[in-house]
Amino acid sequence: MTEPYDRSRWQRDEGEDASETDAATRQAALEPDELDDARENVFDGWPSSEDVSAYARRPGERPAVLEDTQIEPAPEPFATPPEQEGVAAEPSAPPGEQAGEQAREQAAERGEGEVEEADEEGPPLDAVEEAEPVALVDPDAASHEHAPGELEVPPGFNVLEGAPDGTRRAVGVVVSRFNGEITSRLLESALEQLERSGVARSAITVMPVPGAFELPIGAMALARTRRFACIVALGCVVRGDTPHFDYVAGEAASGLQLAALETGVPVAFGVLTLDRASQAESRIGKGAEAVRTALEMADLFSHLRAAAAR
């Protein structure tokens, strides 16, 4: 039976036959002399690897194969230039003397007098002005990261705005006992602000909790009683050598926000997040600031409910 037509096999067979035919043709076409020339080693006369190794081992000697090649040895590092025949090498003058000699030659060409030699010793140490010390930024100073100024709303719009008024309002204060030296002062600042804002002592409830991590659940518990117009959360977290700071500070912030969102009661963030305890001195006023924020939001919500009822 006839085998199926295989074009690739045919091309392969044809190619092998053609390559063998071409090789035989070229072999026959070469004359005997040309064949000998073709077989001649084209590398005859080149230095062998042994000759090159011998030359590398003896820089001052060269094998016979390299006699016709002019190879200059590499200059030694920092080598002085060779002296010219009949000319003695003069010692080079220092750069300062060379500059002075050039200046005198130029002055002589212009017809001027001798140029005074520059004082090589330089100005006296007393004449050098000392640089003024650069004032370093005090890390405990007031922050410069906030832009000053008040919000300006263009006229012609309905504006709902609250004021830090504590009249006839009850306020809950949740405060952390951890870092008590700092949180006690934060609480004192907050209570003074509540009194200035018109909140009666009988309308203030203070609830201490173990630490800043417990502030959110304490704030949510106070808000769910529906007895307080606003909640003030006070605490302090100081950075240490472990990631404890990041977890506690972050969870305290997000938890307090969640308490406000779920209950609808304003919760003011009065938690200090410090790199070191000494930074608290200039930030004790954050307690009073948190009180003003909470009272303003409570008053704003009161206006909003009244506007919605109309």
Catalytic residues: 244
* Spatial contact of 201 and 253, defined as CB atoms under 8 Å apart: no
CA distance 125 to 190: 59
User: Beta strands 267-274 and 171-176: pairing type?
Assistant: unpaired
- DSSP 8-state symbol, 229: S
Coil/strand/helix, residue 176: strand
Q: What residue type is 221 in one-letter code?
A: A
List of E strands, 211-263: 230-238
d(CA 296, CA 257): 17
Sheet of 171-176: strands edge to edge? 204-209, 171-176, 230-238, 267-274
Do 216 and 268 form a contact (C-beta atoms < 8 A)?
A: no
CA-to-CA distance for 173 and 290, rounded, in angstroms?
A: 10
What does the block give as tokens for 82?
């060779």
Note the Cα 297 to chain centre separation in Å: 39
54 three-class SS: helix
Percentages of the chain per state (helix, strand, coil), in multiples of 5: 45, 10, 45
Q: Report CA 292 to chain centroid distance, whole Å.
A: 38
Q: In angstroms, rounded to a whole number, what is the distance separating the alpha carbons of residues 17 and 63?
A: 50
Closest to 291 measured CA to CA, from 267, 260, 307: 267
